[in-house]
Amino acid sequence: MLPELVIREMKRAELDILVEWAANEGWNPGLTDAQIFWDTDPQGFVAAELGGELIGGGSIVSYEGRFGFMGFFIIRADHRRKGFGERLWVHRRDLLISRLRAPAVIGMDGVFNMRGFYARGGFVFYNRDLRFEGVGAAARPDAALVDLSTVSLAEVACYDAARFPAPRDVFLKAWITQPGSRALGAVQHGVLRGFGVIRPCRRGFKIGPLFAADAETADTLFRGLGDLSPGKPIFIDVPENNPQAMALAQRHGLREVFGCARMYYGPAPLLPFNEIFGVTTFELG
């Protein structure tokens, strides 16, 4: 008899295995993603086990029960096309719904060729998030930019909460202070008008989030963040429904290398899409 698929809560060490699989798939995870993701919601990761071996998993992170995000969905290559992935995905969706207040709203960034499958699971397409690659460049210091650590976490969290579907203070505190990263704020007349983070990854650096009140502020932040990695690859995941964000990528000579479909289960959050120049992550939203 074939062993039975067991779907259960993930153990911390297993998330490291998932990250390695993701790296092998070319997802280019950040160097400290696993620990930050885990600390955001330790119950937000699901494992699929077969015959005592981990064969897949994914995230089902809840942000204070107000918003959920499904990501990091991966099945080990030798166990694909056997129906395990569908069983794991449906289980994760239903479990996350049970962890959220009604009406449940869940977001996800899924690869384009799986869009039909996710639609059958109740998710509705919203927009495309496109990954662009470029090269970091040295930049002159800009008086409008400050180290984000000089801005109170309460102010950063308030700004973020207006551009993300739910508060995520625990995540933010760790995200903007991770080793090897740079987090900058754009301040005008004592008011925060945007912020961004660039973090080291398996290959190069990723910028995310990049939130700004206008295109000029976003450009200033982009330059200040890219200054951390002159001559090295940089990546940013740009929401296609923000024309000014797409223009920023073109202006800096970035090339499209990947993309995902942003989809929602439940009503799509009402966010100022014109102020979102780079999403935080494909894994946690």
Give the pLDDT of the chain (285 residues) as one tens digit per residue: 557 999 999 999 999 999 999 999 999 999 999 999 999 999 999 999 999 999 999 999 999 999 999 999 999 999 999 999 999 999 999 999 999 999 989 999 999 999 999 999 999 999 999 999 999 999 998 999 999 999 999 999 999 999 999 999 999 999 999 999 999 999 999 999 999 999 999 999 999 999 999 999 999 999 999 999 999 999 999 999 999 999 999 999 999 999 999 999 999 999 999 999 999 999 999
CA distance 146 to 221: 10
CA distance 71 to 105: 14
Token code pair at residue 32: 């400290």
Which value, to the nearest 10 degrees, does the dihedral of the CA atoms of residues 29, 176, 160, 284 take? 20
Strand, helix or coil for residue 238: strand
Classify the phi-psi angles of 51: left when phi > 0, otherwise alpha if psi is within -120 to 50, otherwise beta: left
Q: Where are the beta strands (DSSP E) in the chain?
A: 5-9, 45-50, 53-63, 67-75, 106-110, 124-135, 145-147, 182-188, 191-200, 205-212, 233-239, 255-265, 276-278
Task: Output the CA–CA distances (angstroms, integers) from residue 132 to 26, 171, 236, in the order listed.
Answer: 14, 24, 5
Cβ atoms of residues 43 and 60 within 8 Å:
no
Residue type, 133: E
State the residue for tokens 């015959």.
Answer: 51
Q: Delineate the domains of the chain, giving CATH numbers in brackets.
A: 5-130 (3.40.630.30), 131-258+270-278 (3.40.630.90)
CA distance 140 to 264: 40
